[in-house]
Amino acid sequence: MRFACLAGLLFGALALACSDSDTIVALNVCTLASVDAEAIESLDVTIEGAANATHQLAEVSVLPCGTKPAYFKRIKLSDATEKGSATINLRALDASGALVETGTINVVVRPEETVAAFIELGEATPPPGAGGAGGAGGAGGEAGAGD
């Protein structure tokens, strides 16, 4: 597991180093246990704020988080992009175009730089034996006799 995480970080760092003065979002996407990664066929990506862009990414191969490097895509932003906050909204769709899951992240973009954006789709599930259902409350006691 640690090797997969380190490999993913190394891959992301290498991708960041490859920029040639373009403004880039290095999008990394993976799924948590509550999402069937194999059901995802395409991603709709909308970037709003300091940068504005829309991308439809087809025939994607999104993997579960922590198993291998995540799905990775370099998205080139407009040359007119200014420094500032940008929100990345992602919609994961199945083969019929039905929504599988959504994800959002805020990043700071800077002209002629690359920023990494990591989106984990779904919710983490607790490990077996962690937590559990709460118990029922106890009944109140009887009132005492007054003197």
pLDDT per residue over 47-70, tens digit each?
999 989 999 999 999 999 987 778
pLDDT per residue over 4-49, tens digit each?
443 444 444 444 444 457 999 999 999 998 899 999 999 999 999 9
Can you tell me the distance from the alpha carbon of 72 to that of 12, in angstroms, rounded to the nearest whole number?
8
Spans of all domains in the chain: 2-121
List the CATH code of the domain at 2-121: 2.60.40.3540
The pLDDT value given to residue 123 = 82
CA atoms within 13 A of residue 40's CA, in its CB half-sphere: 27
Can you tell me the distance from the alpha carbon of 95 to that of 39, in angstroms, rounded to the nearest whole number?
8
Can you tell me the distance from the alpha carbon of 113 to that of 83, in angstroms, rounded to the nearest whole number?
10
